[in-house]
Amino acid sequence: MALRTIRVMGDDILRKKCREVKEVTQRIETLIDDMFETMYESNGVGLAAPQVGVLKRIMVIDVGEEPYLFINPVIVDSAGEQTGDEGCLSLPGKSGVVTRPDFVKVRAYDENMEEFELEAEGLLARAICHECDHLEGILYVDKVEGELENVEYDEE
């Protein structure tokens, strides 16, 4: 496994639409491992492939419950509303208020290309929406309500 460089806002690749994954090759397996490692190393709760420069529909999420991998995810149902702070590893040091559904049902494929569905609420639902947006070239700044804030980091 290896850490990958996270692309930051201003990089054109973050604005491109990602392509579907047809098959999980060795190369994609390595990409997925690297995405998890890069996300954890950066203390993020989610990471989408374009953020490491790969235009494929792959995203990883861990909001502190368990690691989730989504290949070719589609949000098939959503309900409710939540308004809260959001951040993104591609906008280091910033956060902003975004309204998202409070519940989503997502359909995706796992590392064996087996289809699954997951129902999520709260922070996990927010993370799924945020990462799915990345696959379309959408950043949370496109949806932010008000100004971006600067986030103070604790040096570890």
State the residues that interact with Ni ion by CB under 5 A. Answer: 88
Let me know if 41 is a catalytic residue: no
String of DSSP letters for 4-66: -PPP-TT-GGGGSPPBPP----HHHHHHHHHHHHHHHHTT-SEEEGGGGT--BSEEEE-SSS-
For Ni ion, which is the closer residue by CB, 12 or 114? 12
**Closest separation between CB of residue 29 and Ni ion, Å?**
23
**How many Cα atoms sit within 13 Å of 136 on the Cβ side?**
13
For Ni ion, which is the closer residue by CB, 61 or 88? 88
**Closest separation between CB of residue 14 and Ni ion, Å?**
9
For Ni ion, which is the closer residue by CB, 54 or 88? 88
Separation between Cα atoms, residue 91 and residue 137, nearest integer Å = 14
For Ni ion, which is the closer residue by CB, 108 or 130? 130
C-beta nearest to Ni ion: residue: 88
Q: Which of 37, 131, 155, 156 is catalytic?
A: 131
**Closest separation between CB of residue 73 and Ni ion, Å?**
14
**Closest separation between CB of residue 112 and Ni ion, Å?**
26
Which residues are known to be catalytic? Answer: 131
